[in-house]
Amino acid sequence: MRIIRILTIVLFPFYILSCSEESEIEKFVVGEEFTNTNVRIIQIDTFSVELSTYKLDSIVTSGSNRLLFGQYTDASLGKVTATPYFELSANSYSISDEAILDSVALILKYDQYFYSDTTQVMHMRFHQLTERVKPDETDFYNTSNLNFAEVPIATKTFYPEPHRDSLHVSIPFNYGNTLFNFISDNVNSTDEFIQEYKGFTLQVDSADNGSVIGFSNQSGSSYLRFFYRLSDDDEDTEYHYDLFITASSDVPKYFNRIQSDVTGLALSTLTDQDYNLASENSNHESYFQSGIGYLTRMNFPSIRKLYDIEGEGTVLNAVLRLKPKSLSYNDNLKLRDTLSLFYVDQNNNVTDQVYNSLGEVTAKIVKNTDGYEDTYYEIPVLEYIDLKLIQAPLIDDALIMYHNDYNKSLDRIIFNDMFENNGAKLILTYAIYDAN
């Protein structure tokens, strides 16, 4: 019995000690020279990056919640033009017989989007369509087109002020009065109204070179407004009646036609979506332009040469740095801060968005302003490199990137390739390890 008591006394402290084990200390370096460390980490930035440009056949532009209007010319990407087409209608077509029209105005609310030079004067023409705003199938595209009456209803010369509230386009009284009377006399339903007034479009003067701006399509923001009084009213109360773009879930009532003229440029060879214009053939540049549909295709044709490095190894990190061409961007020609990444197959069809466990993988802009300007997109490509190293059969796929406003903006980015200004650089962090 005494033994047990002694044992308890003797062993208990050990039991406590054995549970506490070694205390954690941040740094233990004595004996460092003995380590036959099995890992070597190297950084490699000499793998080739292939950039090319392709053009989407079309982009759906109906349902974008923006009327995109304007025009500018770019040395590398040609002249781009955005013109909205829309149907106007009302909830009710009953107007008092006593109504006397005062004036009519098209009010377009700026939604703050702009691209390129807003200090240039713009010439807007308001035309009536001669075709219904009705898609062949379900959507309108940036390539869609509708005929309109050659003579404009109204014209407006203005300097865009995208941070102001709205743009007012006065409508000639005669045109407005005819329309107003037509509604009050003949129209009981939208169908009846659009039999006569099929729709409208905003056109830009072909010589304009300024900016592209965005207007809201919302019924309470942009509308054709009729200001009137009632003849039997003692006081001079002013009333108004609005026509607007109806929000419709199934049939689109508006779209933006977005076109570019690339005559004489390398881009003019891009006639089909599965054709790629290598950066070598376009001035060591590759292009991104939303609205029109130019996308930069990025791939790493020699990545499997990693296998030539002796020893077992693995890529720890892979970052692609893409530099926008210097002086190709400024406060008007803005660069997006982030772009989403997607995989495309050999036919340039998007197969997947690039995701990791935290969600969407994005390209982010990095701006170094100390001393000299150094701005680039940093694109995490580890997932793609992992895939390419084991892909069988090897597919001529690639990464592309774009943003959510791709169908309702006219931004552009010009990238330099690896031969120009160190424009494209794949930076691999590679670990070589011994399995011993």
Partner 1 sequence: MTQIKRTSITTIFALIGLSFTLYSQTNDLTSSPYSLFGLGVESNSNVGRASGMGFTGISLDANQELNLFNSASFASIPEKKFIFDVGFYTQIENLNNGDENELRFVTSFSNLAMAFNANGKYGIGLSLLPATNVGYSLIGLQSHVEGSSNETYSTDITGSGGLNDVRLDYARPISKNFNLGLRFSYLFGKIEETENALTSTSLLTLETKNYYSGVKFGLGAQYTFWDKNTIGIVLESPSSLSANRDFKTTRTTFTAVTVVDETTEERISNFKLPFKFGLGFNTYYKKFLFAFDYKRNFWDATNQSDEIGEYVDQNIFSFGAEYTKNATSYRYWNRINFRAGFNYDSGNLEIDGKGINSKAVSLGIGFPLDQKGSKINFSYNYKKTGSLEGILIQDHINTININLSLTDFWFEKRKYD
Question: Quick one: three-class SS letters along 316-330?
Answer: EEEEEEECECCCCCC
Please state the closest distance from residue 24 (CB atom) to partner 1, in A. Answer: 9
How does strand 166-171 pair with strand 99-116?
antiparallel
What span, in angstroms and rounded, lies between the C-alpha atoms of 183 and 165? 29
Task: Name the residue nearer to partner 1 (CB basis): 23 or 157.
Answer: 23
CA atoms within 13 Å, Cβ hemisphere of 260: 30
> Which of 102, 120, 49 lies closest to 280, judged by CA?
49
Amino acid at 60: V
Stated as kind and residue range, the H or E segment containing 228 is: strand 223-230
Which residues, in sequence order, are CB contacts of 7 under 8 Å at separation 6+? none
Task: Name the residue nearer to partner 1 (CB basis): 15 or 307.
Answer: 15
Beta strands in 87-139 (DSSP E): 99-116, 122-128
Task: Name the residue nearer to partner 1 (CB basis): 33 or 235.
Answer: 33
- What x-and-dash track marks residues 343-362 binding partner 1 by CB under 8 A? -------------xxx----
> Which of 332, 420, 320 lies closest to 376, judged by CA?
320
Query: Considering only 9-17, 165-173, 242-250, 362-370, which stretch makes contact with partner 1 by CB under 8 A?
Result: 9-17
Task: Name the residue nearer to partner 1 (CB basis): 249 or 357.
Answer: 357
Please state the closest distance from residue 305 (CB atom) to partner 1, in A. Answer: 15
Query: Considering only 153-161, 313-321, 362-370, 402-410, which stretch makes contact with partner 1 by CB under 8 A?
Result: 313-321
What distances in angstroms separate CA 39 from CA 36, 45, 161, 316, one per listed residue? 9, 19, 59, 12
Q: Can you name the residues that pair with 379 across neighbouring β-strands? A: 320
Please select the residue that binds partner 1; options are 177, 382, 420, 425, rule is CB under 8 A. Answer: 382
Please select the residue that binds partner 1; options are 196, 272, 312, 396, rule is CB under 8 A. Answer: 312
- In the DSSP assignment, the letter for residue 415 is E
Report if residue 7 touches partner 1, rule: CB under 8 A: yes
Please select the residue that binds partner 1; options are 107, 218, 232, 386, rule is CB under 8 A. Answer: 386
Task: Name the residue nearer to partner 1 (CB basis): 26 or 235.
Answer: 26
Count of residues touching partner 1 (by CB under 8 A): 51
Please select the residue that binds partner 1; options are 154, 230, 278, 316, rule is CB under 8 A. Answer: 316
Report if residue 1 touches partner 1, rule: CB under 8 A: yes
Contact status, residue 384 vs residue 315, Cβ threshold 8 Å: no
Please state the closest distance from residue 351 (CB atom) to partner 1, in A. Answer: 20
CA dihedral sign, ordered 304, 309, 312, 317: negative
Pseudo-torsion of CA 215, 218, 222, 223, nearest 10°?
A: 140
Question: Which residue's entry shows tokens 């003229």?
Answer: 261
Please select the residue that binds partner 1; options are 119, 181, 248, 314, rule is CB under 8 A. Answer: 314
Report if residue 372 touches partner 1, rule: CB under 8 A: no
Helix (H, G, I), strand (E, B) or coil at 274: coil
Amino acid at 6: I
Gap between the terminal Cα atoms of the chain:
53
Report if residue 45 touches partner 1, rule: CB under 8 A: yes
Restricted to residues 397-436, the positions that interact with partner 1 (CB under 8 A) are: 429, 431, 433, 435-436
Task: Name the residue nearer to partner 1 (CB basis): 154 or 431.
Answer: 431
Restricted to residues 15-44, the positions that interact with partner 1 (CB under 8 A) are: 15, 17-19, 21-23, 25-44
Please select the residue that binds partner 1; options are 6, 100, 121, 350, rule is CB under 8 A. Answer: 6
Question: Before 380, cis peptide (omega within 30)?
Answer: no
Task: Name the residue nearer to partner 1 (CB basis): 223 or 300.
Answer: 300
- What x-and-dash track marks residues 271-310 binding partner 1 by CB under 8 A? ----------------------------------------
Task: Name the residue nearer to partner 1 (CB basis): 23 or 263.
Answer: 23
Report if residue 10 touches partner 1, rule: CB under 8 A: yes
> Which of 54, 40, 82, 430 lies closest to 255, judged by CA?
82
Query: Which positions lie near partner 1, rule CB under 8 A?
Result: 1-4, 6-7, 10-11, 14-15, 17-19, 21-23, 25-45, 312, 314, 316-317, 356-358, 382, 386, 429, 431, 433, 435-436
